[in-house]
Amino acid sequence: MFKKIFGFGKNKSKADEKIKVEDERLKIKELEELKLKEKAEREELEKLKIKEEEERKELEELKIKEEKERKELERLKIKKVENEIEIKKIEDSEKEEVSRKKGFFKSLKEKLEKTREGLFGKMKKLFSGRSIIDEDMYEELEDLLIQSDIGMDMTLKIVEKLEKEVKKRGIQDPNLVYDVLKDVMEGFLISEGTELEVDKPGMNIILVVGVNGVGKTTTIGKLAAKFVKDGKKVVIGAGDTFRAAAIEQLEEWADRAGADIIKHEQGSDPGAVVFDTLKAGENRDADIVIIDTAGRLHNKNNLMKELEKINTIIKKHVGNINYESLLVIDGTTGQNGLNQAKVFNEVTKLSGFVVTKLDGTAKGGIVFAISEELKKPIKFIGVGEGIEDLREFKSKEYIDAIFE
């Protein structure tokens, strides 16, 4: 009985042990499952974190993109406004330029009223008062042209050209001849090379010649004022040492214009003034040097020697570089002015002419005579006292202003 009981107890112990082992196994399994679950949850959590980070970065990128787009939109708006402002400025500038040109032409027309109402008014009446085109008409035209200081040779050229052009166009009405004459006379004016060549790098030189009383000193002063206004550094050389008044006038103009002036005492050597002026121009980094010359030399040989000396000094400084050599002529002196031009053209290499005082003459024919006979361009015309009244010569503008 005891054995049985003892055996039963033993079996029960084994069963308990087995149960205990099974429990332990189950616990281990549950623990492993729990760990796996925790791992899976942790991995899922990590994925969620990664996804959140990706979403956060994506959101940040979207914000950055939106900010860039906002800035770009703002930039485009600003650019649009700037473009609109620039377009408005250009339009205003163009309107101003058109207005200025209209005003300039109107002003030029007013300044040349004496010439237009004098010579060209008579010519218009000549054509409008006739019923046929005949030799008498051309002869009367010749008389008017000669009276206008155009000169005999130039007059014959104009009339001959006019007759050919009238026949070529088949014109029968005398009233239409005036417009043909306008075209013919414009053709005798040199339209190329009328601008001063003073934009070369370094120092540009303008030599100004002419007799006393033609407006030479005033022309130099106005040129200096124009260049200074354009931002140029200008040095003036008072090379007319024979007249104290010329030196004083240039000093006044230099002060008004904001230009430097190099001068010596009255009666000193003009060549020395020119030399010192060129040196000063180099040392002061001048853009433009304007040199005045004596205008009282009536003897052709003396004039030639003086100008040769000055040109030699200039060439020693600049070498073979071309420079402007301008002759100033009084537009009211007619054939005397033309004769002066011929003499100066013989003794020095002129690059062009400045014809002054055209607002004070009813003739004005010298402009055509100079341009055609000397084959050199007119670069400026003087039509008044103001600085703006020294105007660049444009053949078409001039013709339009004197022909009604």
Residue type (1 letter), 98: V
At residue 9, the pLDDT reads: 58
Contact 281, 259 (CB under 8 A): no
For residue 290, the SS3 value is: strand
Burial category of 158 from C-beta neighbours within 10 Å (exposed 0-12, middle 13-18, buried 19 and up): buried
Contact 366, 372 (CB under 8 A): no
pTM above 0.75, yes or no: no
Residue 187: other Cβ atoms inside 10 A: 14
Tokens, residue 160 = 């001959």
Q: How far is CA 97 from CA 2, 175, 191, 207, 266, in A?
A: 137, 34, 22, 32, 45
Q: Quick one: DSSP state of residue 194? A: -
At residue 299, the pLDDT reads: 67
Full pLDDT tens readout for the chain, 404 residues: 444 444 555 566 777 777 877 778 778 888 888 788 888 888 888 888 888 888 888 888 888 888 888 888 888 888 888 887 878 777 666 655 444 544 444 588 888 888 878 878 888 888 888 889 999 999 999 998 888 888 888 899 999 999 999 999 999 999 999 999 999 999 999 988 889 999 889 899 999 999 888 999 999 999 999 999 999 999 999 999 888 888 999 999 999 999 999 999 998 999 999 999 999 999 999 999 999 998 765 567 787 888 889 999 999 988 888 899 999 999 888 788 888 888 888 888 899 999 999 988 777 788 888 888 888 999 999 998 888 899 999 999 999 888 86
Terminal CA-to-CA distance of the chain, rounded, Å? Answer: 161
Tokens, residue 293 = 């010359």
Q: How far is CA 346 from CA 97, 174, 326, 339, in A?
A: 41, 41, 13, 11
Residue length of the chain: 404
Contact 379, 393 (CB under 8 A): yes
Tokens, residue 7 = 């055996």
At residue 173, the pLDDT reads: 93
Contact 311, 320 (CB under 8 A): no
